[in-house]
Amino acid sequence: ARKNTQKTLLSNGAEYLSGPDPDDLLDQGYTDANGEFQLSGGTAELTPIDPVFKVYHDCDDGIKPGSRKVKFALPKSYITNGKTPKKTFDIGVLNLETIFAKEEREMIVSRMRRGGINADYMDADKSGSSEENQ
């Protein structure tokens, strides 16, 4: 695994879903110096959740704009009622040089959060134009 690869865990598979139960960001983070990471999250939902693990990276990508994005649906057997998980899902080792079926590209922009902390967010309009996002 590569260093500084961003990982995101959302509660439902559809991105930018509108309606009574939109996606919730459950957790996000980066790989450590060893390429390892750990994510967890919880939410109160009106409907059952379908957690999706997303990896944003630039491995074997040259200088193309945006990041490669790979999505993995997590097995329902790892969803737990309550705050303490019953088991942990180990996604194993991923070779991100692999070109995954249904792989996408996404522009990621940096925006300021409350309190002045920088964070990376997906560009909601997916326009890909860096001029619009500044």
Q: What pLDDT is attached to residue 94?
A: 87
Q: What pLDDT is attached to residue 133?
A: 39
Tokens of 107: 């522009």
Q: What pLDDT is attached to residue 57?
A: 86
Q: What pLDDT is attached to residue 35?
A: 85
| Confidence band for 10, pLDDT divided at 50, 70 and 90 | low
Q: 0.85 cut: is pTM over it?
A: no
Residue 63 makes CB contacts below 8 A (sequence gap 6+) with none
Give 96's DSSP letter: T
DSSP-derived 3-state class of residue 78: helix
**Stretch 87-99: mean pLDDT:** 88
For residue range 25-68, list pLDDT tens digits in order: 888 888 888 888 888 888 877 777 888 888 888 888 888 888 89
* 9 in Cβ contact with 27 (< 8 Å): yes
Tokens of 75: 């097995």
